[in-house]
Chain A
Amino acid sequence: MSLARGVSLVGAGMTRFHHRIHQDKSGRELFNEAAEKAIESVDGGIDRRDLQAVFVGYFTPEAYEHQGHIGAQVTDWLGLCPVSGWRTESACASSAYAFLTGVLAIASGLYDVVLVGGVEKMTELSTEQVTDALSMAACDDYELPPGATFPGLYALLAQAYFKKYGATWEQLQAVPIKSHHNGSLNSNAQFQEEIIDIGNRWGARRGLSFKDNMEVLKSTLNRMVAYPLRLFDCCPISDGAATAILAADDVAKKYTDTPIKIKGVSATTDNLAIHDRTSLTSLRATVEAGKRAFSMAGMKPKDVDVADVHDCFTIAEILAIEDLGFFKRGEGIRAVEEGITSLKGDIPINTDGGLKCKGHPAGATGVGMIHEIWKQLRGEAGKRQISNAEIGLLHNVGGDGASCVVSIFSR
């Protein structure tokens, strides 16, 4: 299976993801900021009137901004009316579906050049209210009445994984330690500090000091969210937007000499409630999307040079790297512990700091990940650059795995 018409990335731009700095801006204002950066990023320049459609992911604008009708809202503010524009929603994968919609629209021949992206303006609400908004991705009939939350659902998967493979919470901490190191090298990241530095900064106010990352992670500063997951096992609440410009291969040359080609793309679903799934230690939507995207690309996991995978919680990163076939079942944690997924490892994962440190404005996350792959494959990732990265992979999950997009890109 292949696309009827090839599609490439010719531009990408994002706001920094953050919990404070965007408080005075609305969702559409953030989206505009990201879009202007994408327009500026096009090597040969682009006239905004070349953009024939805008697809925008936003998970719950109704909850955060009392705003629906996001498609028209963003085309209006970008000065693009009457071009078509609509919102895609698939929980935390909302903007990967905007990307997918853009790919399909170009591959179908309907358009030649489109803007895709996503936004989420989460800090309007308290932590408990955000917890409510995010829980709309879970099964309202059968998962929410018992009191499940998003961290809680992943905690259930973590416990099942620990039991099956004899792994421990302590081992899992290799994930946030790596993420914080990568985040410290990314100027777009919400958190740009190593865990030890955050620990000592927070600790100073309480008369605490720490010797290493693990001591911080085991301290009372790292409060329990949903046993066994603590604060540093969870991605933060963030505001932000990310966008990318897609063009048909036959017109991409007009904009850049080095388009990033989309080699494979797939979207899948799984049972909404996790108790109905076939496994509690694997996300079937990821397994299937990965297989199909690799098949379309004619590639295998070992061909990938750099991957951004959905690490909303530490355990999610482990499930992802196993489900995508980078590691055997039960061996993901050890791979992270051994540094195989670090910037210097064989398969660097989440070079941007991941959702954990780059931040997770839910609707913006998928295209925010594409932004990192774009940077890496163009050799523009600065201190976190993976040398000679030619093949990159995006893996964006909706909720706790009921929907998933995997896409493979090549320089």
Chain B
Amino acid sequence: MSKEIFTAKTFFDNLKEKRLMGSKCKECNALFVPSRPVCLQCGSTNLEWIESKGEGSLETFTVIHVPPVSLLTKAPYVVGIVRLDEGVSIMGRIIDVDPTEPEKIELGMRVKVVVIEENEKTVLAFKPFTTRST
């Protein structure tokens, strides 16, 4: 059993400091972002914290037009699932894209982590970026 305690609070405390944290199984190397306490692949509880680079590609997205009460003033906004380069997926707000032209939002486009503070919560978000060719 790992000594680490993989709480959501620790995840968000790290996110506030712009670190996207996951857990990695020390037995089979499977990776989970957000962090979780039990390996889904081998069942081990021997995991360690690991930091994601926070870059990936947009796997799927939606534009929310009917929001929950807390986000009434924000709609329409974009939510997506990002496939991180480490090979795992995570949900986040997608910013710097135009919610009124969803046809122009491309699946597969490159995005990287940004952190938003909203309604006294730390919210995981991603924005498009272009990698410079070297």
Asked if residues A145 and B61 are in contact (CB atoms below 8 Å), the reply is no
Residue of B nearest to A229 (CB): B62
Residue of B nearest to A148 (CB): B79
Which residues on A sit within 8 Å (CB–CB) of B62?
152, 155-156, 159, 226-229
Asked if B37 lies at the interface with its beta carbon under 8 angstroms from chain A, I say: no
Known contacts A145-B123, A152-B79, A160-B59; A223/B65 CB under 8 A: yes
Asked if B74 lies at the interface with its beta carbon under 8 angstroms from chain A, I say: yes
The A-contacting residues of B in range 80-124, CB under 8 angstroms, are: 80-81, 89-93, 102, 107, 121-124
Known contacts A145-B123, A146-B93, A147-B77; A224/B71 CB under 8 A: no
Which residues on A sit within 8 Å (CB–CB) of B59?
160, 280
Which residues on A sit within 8 Å (CB–CB) of B93?
146-147
Residue of B nearest to A163 (CB): B107
Asked if B54 lies at the interface with its beta carbon under 8 angstroms from chain A, I say: no
Known contacts A128-B72, A142-B91; A224/B65 CB under 8 A: yes
Asked if residues B68 and A275 are in contact (CB atoms below 8 Å), the reply is no
Asked if residues A156 and B79 are in contact (CB atoms below 8 Å), the reply is yes
Asked if A151 lies at the interface with its beta carbon under 8 angstroms from chain B, I say: yes
The B-contacting residues of A in range 124-144, CB under 8 angstroms, are: 127-129, 131-132, 135, 141-144
The A-contacting residues of B in range 20-34, CB under 8 angstroms, are: 32, 34
Asked if residues A141 and B61 are in contact (CB atoms below 8 Å), the reply is no
Residue of B nearest to A129 (CB): B69
Asked if B66 lies at the interface with its beta carbon under 8 angstroms from chain A, I say: yes
Asked if residues B60 and A148 are in contact (CB atoms below 8 Å), the reply is no
Asked if residues A146 and B125 are in contact (CB atoms below 8 Å), the reply is yes
Which residues on B sit within 8 Å (CB–CB) of A129?
69
Complex Cα distance A152/B65, Å?
Answer: 9
Q: How far is the CB of B76 from chain A (nearest CB, A)?
A: 8
Which residues on B sit within 8 Å (CB–CB) of A147?
64, 67-68, 71, 74, 77, 79, 93, 123
Which residues on B sit within 8 Å (CB–CB) of A271?
40
Which residues on A sit within 8 Å (CB–CB) of B68?
128, 131-132, 135, 144, 147, 149
Asked if residues B91 and A143 are in contact (CB atoms below 8 Å), the reply is yes
Which residues on A sit within 8 Å (CB–CB) of B5?
none
Main secondary structure of the interface of B (DSSP, over half): strand
Asked if A340 lies at the interface with its beta carbon under 8 angstroms from chain B, I say: no
Asked if residues A128 and B63 are in contact (CB atoms below 8 Å), the reply is no
Which residues on B sit within 8 Å (CB–CB) of A142?
8, 34, 90-91, 124
From A132, A143, A160, A226, contact of B63 by CB (8 A): A226
Complex Cα distance A378/B8, Å?
Answer: 51
Which residues on B sit within 8 Å (CB–CB) of A149?
64, 66-68
Asked if A307 lies at the interface with its beta carbon under 8 angstroms from chain B, I say: no
Asked if A273 lies at the interface with its beta carbon under 8 angstroms from chain B, I say: yes
Residue of B nearest to A234 (CB): B66
Which residues on B sit within 8 Å (CB–CB) of A151?
66
Asked if A225 lies at the interface with its beta carbon under 8 angstroms from chain B, I say: yes
Residue of A nearest to B81 (CB): A275
Asked if residues A156 and B61 are in contact (CB atoms below 8 Å), the reply is yes
Which residues on A sit within 8 Å (CB–CB) of B66?
127-128, 131, 149, 151, 225-226
Most chain B CB atoms below 10 A, which of A159, A224, A228: A159
Asked if residues A148 and B63 are in contact (CB atoms below 8 Å), the reply is no
Asked if A274 lies at the interface with its beta carbon under 8 angstroms from chain B, I say: yes
Residue of B nearest to A156 (CB): B60
From B71, B72, B81, B102, contact of A274 by CB (8 A): B81
Asked if residues A159 and B34 are in contact (CB atoms below 8 Å), the reply is no
Q: How far is the CB of A69 from chain B (nearest CB, A)?
A: 26
Against B, the Cβ 8 Å flags (1 = close, 0 = not) of A375-408 are 0000000000000000000000000000000000
Known contacts A147-B93, A227-B102, A275-B89; A280/B65 CB under 8 A: no
Asked if residues B60 and A160 are in contact (CB atoms below 8 Å), the reply is yes
Complex Cα distance A135/B62, Å?
Answer: 16
Complex Cα distance A142/B124, Å?
Answer: 9
Which residues on A sit within 8 Å (CB–CB) of B102?
227-228
Asked if residues A145 and B69 are in contact (CB atoms below 8 Å), the reply is no
Asked if residues A275 and B90 are in contact (CB atoms below 8 Å), the reply is yes
Which residues on A sit within 8 Å (CB–CB) of B40?
271, 276
Complex Cα distance A163/B62, Å?
Answer: 13
Residue of A nearest to B119 (CB): A145
The 8 closest A-B pairs by CB, nearest first: A155-B62, A227-B63, A160-B60, A141-B8, A146-B93, A159-B60, A275-B89, A224-B65
Q: Which B residues form the contact surface with A (CB < 8 A)?
A: 8, 11, 32, 34, 40, 59-72, 74, 76-77, 79-81, 89-93, 102, 107, 121-125
Q: Which A residues form the contact surface with B (CB < 8 A)?
A: 127-129, 131-132, 135, 141-149, 151-152, 155-157, 159-160, 163, 223-229, 271, 273-276, 280
- 5 inter-chain pairs at a CB distance below 8 angstroms, sorted by A residue, are A146-B79, A146-B123, A149-B66, A275-B81, A275-B90
